[in-house]
Amino acid sequence: MLGVVVEPLTLELARERFLAYLRIEVGCLPKTVEEYGRDVRYFVTDLRERGVATTESLTTRMLEEHLARLKTVRDLDARTVVRHLATLRVFSKWLFSVGLTIAYLGENLERPAAWKRLPEVVSPNQVKRLLEHGAPEPAEGWRGAPLYLRDKAILELLYASGLRNSECVTLKVEDADLTLGVVRVTGKGEKTRLVPFGEHAERAFERYLIECRPRLIRAGVNHQGRMFLSNTGRPLERTGLWHIVKRCAKRAGLEKIYPHLLRHSFATHLLGGGADLRAVQEMLGHASVETTQVYTHVDRTDLQRVIRTKHPRG
């Protein structure tokens, strides 16, 4: 009976029964079932990492937070998040229909276009701490490829140029011009743009290319000319870069740092320092200036905080 929760299931078992329902009772095509299964697996994994294991604990807020994390942490585009949203609505409706939740949790979920959440950023001092302490030089006598030089170059580039995770890992050696201090970036829609970087990133690049990258190249392994390689000689992947940034942040004593957060911080700090909005739009590769304007709202929010805390009549 609807409105009465039966014996709760683990989220993984609920996922399996949901897919069986789609396959057997609804008659969905195998590819459709596979797509639903992948999206729900993302959801189940995310909740498991946050300590939620059963259907009994589910709330609408958890669905909303998961969708937000897909965009801010996983760096998925709006169209992909919309698909996840549709999946969660179907999944949560099924959970309700079989009595695993007391309400239809997906009923009031909003589309990404309606989200008002501002991008998260870190302060310039926190970024400085990450860049100075996130990839320390190993102790004397250490042998092997100096991966800290690769990690340092990645951190410097992400903050100096505001690249997306995917843009950073697909960057090729030939795309970087150290003389001019620019990188040629291939962004969404296969559009290319030139993005400048400063002296700190230039020095980090130079050391990486001379002292580290040649030692990562392996005979018989196709590195595709990519700038950043793993310790196996293969091109670094998005998940690998994400883990590198998280590991460096942990070394620096910082939490909740991820590649896209450095992109947000890059834009916010530039605009806060007086940079032209159109110039920042160009560097970020945004098709519309309205997308870039969100960073002016972030900076304005910070100004409001300053007034409240510092002004005698705040």
Residues belonging to the active site: 164, 188, 260, 263, 286, 295
Phi/psi at 54 (5° precision): -125, 160
Residue identified by tokens 């945004």 is 286
Q: Which of 222, 246, 225, 242 is nearest to 234 (CA)?
A: 222
Does the CA dihedral 142-147-151-154 come out positive or negative? positive
Residue 110's closest CA among 90, 74, 93, 86? 86
Distance CA 168, CA 310 (A): 39
Chain centroid offset of residue 63 CA? 18
Residues 6+ apart with CB under 8 A from 226: 169, 170, 171, 172, 173, 235, 236
Number of Cβ within 10 Å of residue 41's Cβ equals 14
